[in-house]
Amino acid sequence: MSKPYPQSPRGDHVDVYQNAAGQEVRVPDPYRWLEDPDSPETRRWVEAQNAVTEDFLAALPARAAYRERLTALWDYPRDGLPWERGGRYFRTFNPGLLNQPVLQTADSPRGPWHELLDPNALSADGTVALMGASVSQDGTQLAYATQSGGSDWLTWQVRDVASGEDTGEPLRWSKFSGAAWLPDGSGFFYSAYDAPGEGEALTGANKNQRLMFHRLGTPQDADELVLERPDQPDWGFAAEVTEDGAWLAVQVWLGTSPKNLLWVRPLGKEGPGSGDFQPLVNDFQAMYQLVGSDGNTLFLQTDEDAPLGKLMAWNIRTGERRDLLPEGADKLEQVLTVPGGFLALTLHDASHRLTLYDRNGERQREIELPALGTVSVSAEQDSSEVFVAFTSFLVPSRPYRLKLPGGELEPLADPALDFDAATYEVTQEFAMSKDGTRVPMFIVARKDAPRDGSNRTLLYGYGGFSISLTPAFSASRLAWLERGGVFVQANLRGGGEYGEAWHEAGTLGRKQNVFDDFAACAEHLARQGWTRPERLAIQGGSNGGLLVGASITQRPELFGAAVAQVGVLDMLRYHLFTIGWAWASDYGRSDDPEMFATLHAYSPLHNLKEGTRYPATLITTGDHDDRVVPAHSYKFAAELQRVQAGSAPTLIRIQTRAGHGAGKPTALVIEEAADIWAFLEEVLGG
Annotated catalytic sites, by residue? 542, 660
- Please, what sign has the CA dihedral across residues 574, 520, 258, 350? positive
- Give the total residue count for the chain: 686
Would you give the distance in Å from CA 298 to the centre of its chain?
A: 28
Local structure of residue 205 (DSSP, 8 states): -
Is 675 in a helix, a strand, or coil? helix
DSSP string spanning 406-417? TTEEEES-----
Note the maximum CA span of the chain. 73
Q: What is the DSSP string of 439-452?
A: EEEEEEEETT--SS
Amino acid letter for position 274? S
CA 564 – CA 550 distance, rounded (Å): 10
- The amino acid sitting at 577 is F
The verdict on whether omega for the bond into residue 279 sits within 30 degrees of 0, i.e. cis, is no
Distance CA 178, CA 357 (A): 29
CB 647, CB 681: distance < 8 Å: no
The amino acid that residue 162 corresponds to is A
How far apart are the C-alpha atoms of 666 and 668, rounded to whole Å?
Answer: 5
Helix, strand and coil content of the chain, in percent to the nearest 5, comes to 20, 35, 45
Number of other CB atoms surrounding residue 420 within 10 Å: 10
Cα distance between residue 191 and residue 211, in whole Å = 5
659 contacts 626 by C-beta, under 8 angstroms: yes
Return the number of other C-beta atoms located less than 10 Å from residue 39's C-beta.
Answer: 12
Q: How far apart are CA 369 and CA 372, in angstroms?
A: 8
The DSSP secondary structure of 464-522, one letter per residue, reads: -TT--------HHHHHHHHTTEEEEEE--TTSSTT-HHHHHTTSGGGTHHHHHHHHHHH
Q: How distant, in Å, are the alpha carbons of 120, 332, 362 from that of 329?
A: 45, 9, 15
Q: Cβ distance 545 to 564 under 8 Å?
A: yes
| CA–CA dist 466, 497 (Å, integer) | 8
d(CA 42, CA 37): 6
Rounded distance between C-alpha atoms, residue 579 and residue 585, angstroms: 13
Distance of CA 544 to the CA centre of its chain: 11
Distance CA 224, CA 591 (A): 37
